[in-house]
């Protein structure tokens, strides 16, 4: 069901231009449809700030529930921003104070760039904990993405993520390991998920913390888990919100980092993302880049026009289905107020009724 352009955020226009349904507020007011208000704590760095908005907005908007989705982006002032990103935030984002005053039905927390091995040493740690605490007591369900998952595990369960031998990057196959949970209802039992991270929380760590694993990959590890009550907090380690070009853009950034001397080795291909023809094109490009650097010449541009038509999105349907199930459960366990309010007779410790 549709997103509602409840602000002048440019993301709404971008989504309209790509064919997504976005209702004007006056049109939404003419429809007798339940509103749902979903917050997006966007902690992504400047380069990915607006793209992350679009990706999560689209994922929510494509879910098949009977609702109008009002999205409420906000961020943490402790995150350093450039002038352009800060102007975007100042103009279009809400404050956390406004969010808490109005309330939310559900909350999504994105990942973030970090500078220290211990997340508790990051400047955003304390304000992030404030958001997590507030959401746990006032929001029906919080969906944590990547770094947010690691932060909540460290804060709530004293479970520290572990550094991987190398970056887990690309598209990986996963299997549903609990086919009875409502969040994976009607989801393919085998599906792909993109990952992009240097750290991991293992299945054993999650289970030792009392959490419940729903989706796991042989190579990538756990993608989806849920809190002890099986709904209050939803944990992603992968990135089902990624669009088809997200990993290509990341690969391009890594090449630029190599050219600028910010990384020592030329970046490898993301796992299972480029086909053989594309890999051949990219190997030729790598040779050209290395030759240009050796000769002191300007590095050639990445030949994106020969790459994009060979990319495939093999994760969107399953990601959309899981988000649809998540939104549907929030819809069923809240009323129309913009605060956490379990329906009468629902046990907050078991909102899905899984204990019965």
> Active-site positions?
146, 239, 241
DSSP for 251-280 reads: HHHHHHHHHTTSSSSPPPPPBTTS-HHHHH
- H or E element: which one contains 75? none
CA separation, residue 250 to residues 55, 253, 268 (Å): 15, 5, 11
Give the contacts of 284 (CB within 8 A, at least 6 positions apart): none
- Residue 269, classed as helix, strand or coil, is coil
Beta-bridged to residue 277, according to DSSP, are: none
Give the contacts of 260 (CB within 8 A, at least 6 positions apart): none
C-alpha closest to that of 180 among 212, 222, 227: 212
Q: How many CB atoms lie within 10 A of CB 268?
A: 12
């Amino acid at each position: 069901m549709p997103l509602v352009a409840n602000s002048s955020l440019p993301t709404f226009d971008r989504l309209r231009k790509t064919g997504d349904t976005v209702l004007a507020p006056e049109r939404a007011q003419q429809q007798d449809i339940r509103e749902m208000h979903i917050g997006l704590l966007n902690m992504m760095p400047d380069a990915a700030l607006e793209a992350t908005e679009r990706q999560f907005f689209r994922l929510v908007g494509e879910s098949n529930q009977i609702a109008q989705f009002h999205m409420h982006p906000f961020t943490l002032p402790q995150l350093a921003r450039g002038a352009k990103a800060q102007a975007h935030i100042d103009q279009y984002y809400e404050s956390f104070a406004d969010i808490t005053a109005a309330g939310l039905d559900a909350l999504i927390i994105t990942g973030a760039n970090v500078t220290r091995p211990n997340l508790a040493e990051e400047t955003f740690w304390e304000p992030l904990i404030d958001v997590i605490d507030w959401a746990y007591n006032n929001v029906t369900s919080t969906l944590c993405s990547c770094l947010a998952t690691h932060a909540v595990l460290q804060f709530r369960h004293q479970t520290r993520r572990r550094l991987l031998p190398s970056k887990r990057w690309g598209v990986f196959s996963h299997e549903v390991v609990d086919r009875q949970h409502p969040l994976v209802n009607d989801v393919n039992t085998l599906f792909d998920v993109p990952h992009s991270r240097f750290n991991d929380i293992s299945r054993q760590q999650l289970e030792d913390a009392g959490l419940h694993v729903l989706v796991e990959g042989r190579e990538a590890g756990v993608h989806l888990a849920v809190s002890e009550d099986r709904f209050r907090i939803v944990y992603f380690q992968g990135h089902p919100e990624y669009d088809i070009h997200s990993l290509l853009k990341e690969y391009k950034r890594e090449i630029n980092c190599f050219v600028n001397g910010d990384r020592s080795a030329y970046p490898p291909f993301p796992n299972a993302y480029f086909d053989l023809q594309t890999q051949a094109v990219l190997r030729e490009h790598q040779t050209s880049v290395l030759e240009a650097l050796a000769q002191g010449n300007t590095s050639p541009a990445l030949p994106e026009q020969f790459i994009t038509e060979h990319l495939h999105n093999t994760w969107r349907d399953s990601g959309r289905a899981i988000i649809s199930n998540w939104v549907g459960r929030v819809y069923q366990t809240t009323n129309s107020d913009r605060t956490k309010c379990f329906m009468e007779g629902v046990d907050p410790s078991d909102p899905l009724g899984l204990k019965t």
